[in-house]
Every structure is written in structure tokens, then in C-alpha cells.
Structure 1
């Protein structure tokens, strides 16, 4: 009986932990940009990719992304603001988020794709540049 209660308590703790960990895509991106603004770019990407298989399957690509962001973002100046341009549901399982990161010298446009295969959102793609073609709605 004591063993059974221990198992029930353990399952409850694990389940409640998983529920607490479930985040919406906007929460991921909000935390990401807060960390980027403080210069914690590597940590920001680690948080953004939490639950995703991309760092495991494509570690070199993630490293390149981190280096490009660390090296490229300062070229646009200091971060002065953030604007969410678009939140687009594509079916029930995909969300596309588009942001403009306002900088002193020029803005950067960020596009994120999140996928929800089994009840938890995970990042499947992120890109940024200084071109405005990412701002348009997918048709």
C-alpha cells in the first residue's frame, strides 16, 4: 500500500511539473527577447529550443545561429523596443509569430514557427534578418 501511494504521488508530481512546463509560443518568444536584450544570446536560444529536437539533431546549425546572432545583432545598434507584428495559426498544430526588434540603427525582423504535436509547443524554425519580406502573411 505504501508503495502504491508513493507511485501515485510521484505520478502527480511529474504530471503537475509537465503542466507547469507547458508554455505558449508567445511565452517562449517573450522570454527569448528579454534574454537577448540582456546579452544572454546563447541562453536565450537554449530556452527557446527547450523541448525541441533541433539542438540534438542539428547542433552545428544551432551553434551557427547563436554566433550569427551574437555577431550580427550589434551591427544594428542598441535594442530599443519590440513589436509583435503577426500571430498566425496554421491549422491547429502550427503557429507563426513575426516580430520587429527595434534597434537604434535599423530594425530586424524575426520569424518563429512552433509546432504542437502532443500537447506541448516546440520551436521548429527561427530566422531573422533586416529584410521586410518576413512581415507578410503567408497565403
Structure 2
């Protein structure tokens, strides 16, 4: 081997060694770690719940507090009528009417009051002694005018009693009353009146 060949071999070997050292000195890139993307919670848009509705779609009612209207029957007339029928049941017609017409204009008309008592005695004789009574209905016009309807339980036949009360100030007073045996009126049935029966009934009107 000549001198030139030896020099070329040395240069090639040296270059190879330097390349190897440089390669060894260069750090190998670390293996990239697998990056997991963060979890994202996605909410679907929800329509606004209308006011007054619950989540399940059921409408919620609004509670409104209203004062209860007073029952006029509980403020005097009911007790007046109960005392009246209790007296009739015991045959005490005078006492019954004394309570019923107390402080009323009817009590100031002795002749009319006497006729009422006489017709009541007549009705009891025809339809039998009164053993009790039933409340049918009451109708108020405003807070001071009231009609109360009752049915007396006679031994033979019932009678319809309609009491009209008025409350001018603090107490209820009887201002009118009607008594008859036309029971069809209790069932909202039209009355069939024949020409010769225009005055059928007890006549206590």
C-alpha cells in the first residue's frame, strides 16, 4: 500500500469515527406520549319551561285565597225557623208565631196574624200533625234579603213553607211567608192548573 492510499484510509476511518461519536452524542428524541383530549360535557339546549308549568309538563294552578261568603241561613233565620217548627210539633201555634214574627211588621197587624194562625191550625187538621221538617233550599239577594224553603212532615201530607227574611240592621226579620201543598214546585216542574182548580192548595198564601 502506497503512502497516498494509507492517508485516504486514515481519513475515511477518522470520518467514520467522528460520525459515530456525533451520532452517539446526539440524544434520541423521546417517544411522544399519547395525549388524551380532555372530556367535554355538551348540554343540549332546552326550551324554557313556561311559567305555571312543572318539569313533567303538568300545569300548576295558582292558588288564590278568597274569603268565604257568609251563609245568611246560619245568621238567624235557621234558628228562627227551627224554633217555629218545634212549637208547631208540640201544638203550640201561638208560641211558634210569636217567635217567627218577633220585631216584624206582621206582628203589628193582629188581624193578619190571627188569620195566619187559624189557617195553620186548619192545615194541621187536614194534613195531619207536624212531626218534623226538612230544609229544601235558600236563596239570598245580596246580604240582607233571603228566601228559605222548607217542607213540613205532616202525618198525612207534606206542606211547602217559604219564609222571606230581611235584615235592615243587625237582626233578621220575617217580612212574608207562603204555605201550600203544591209540591211540583219543589221539583222544578210546571204546574198544570185546570180552570176549576185555580185556587187549589191550602190557601195559606
> TM class by shorter-chain length?
0.7 to 0.9
Q: Measure how far apart 1:136 and its partner are.
A: 6.5
Q: Give 1:132 shift.
A: 2.2
Q: Given the superposition, is the C-alpha separation of residues 136 and 120 from structure 1 closer, same or farther in structure 2, using an over 3 Å criterion? A: farther
Tell me the residue number matched to 1:45.
97
SS in 1 for 2:176: strand
Deviations 1:118-137 (A, max 9, x none): 11100001121111255378
Q: How many residues align?
A: 114
User: How far did 1:84 drift?
Assistant: 0.2
Q: Which has the larger radius of gyration?
A: 2
CA displacement at 1:80 relative to structure 2? 3.2
1:29-68 paired onto structure 2 within 5 Å: 29-56=81-108, 58-68=109-119
Displacement of 1:90 in angstroms is 1.4
With structure 2 as the length reference, what TM-score do the two structures score? 0.52
Q: Alpha carbons of 1:107 and 1:41: their partners in 2 closer, same or farther (altered >3 Å)?
A: same
**Structure 1: which 5+ residue stretches go unaligned?**
1-22
State the 1:79 CA deviation.
Answer: 2.3
Is the Cα contact below 8 Å between 1:86 and 1:99 reproduced in 2? yes
Task: Tell me, in whole angstroms, the C-alpha distance in 2 between the residues paired with 1:81 and 1:45.
Answer: 16
Aligned to 1:94: 145
8 Å CA contact 2:88, 2:130 repeated in 1: no
- Per residue, is there more helix in 1 or in 2? 1
**CA RMSD across the alignment:** 1.7
Structure holding more strand per residue: 1
Runs of 4+ in structure 1 off by over 4 angstroms are none
Unaligned runs of 5+ residues in structure 2 are 1-74, 189-205
Closer, same or farther in 2 for the Cα pair 1:76/1:115, shift >3 Å? same
**Does residue 114 of the first structure (1) align with residue 136 of the second (2)?**
no
User: What is the alpha-carbon distance in structure 1 between the residues aligned to residue 116 and residue 130 of structure 2?
Assistant: 19
Residues 90 and 48 of structure 1, relative CA distance in 2, 3 Å threshold: same
Contact 1:98 1:134 in 2 (8 A): no
Within the candidate set 133, 137, 144, 1:82 is matched to 133
Looking at both structures, which has the greater relative contact order when contacts are Cα pairs under 8 Å and sequence separation is at least 6?
Answer: 1
TM-score by length of 1: 0.75
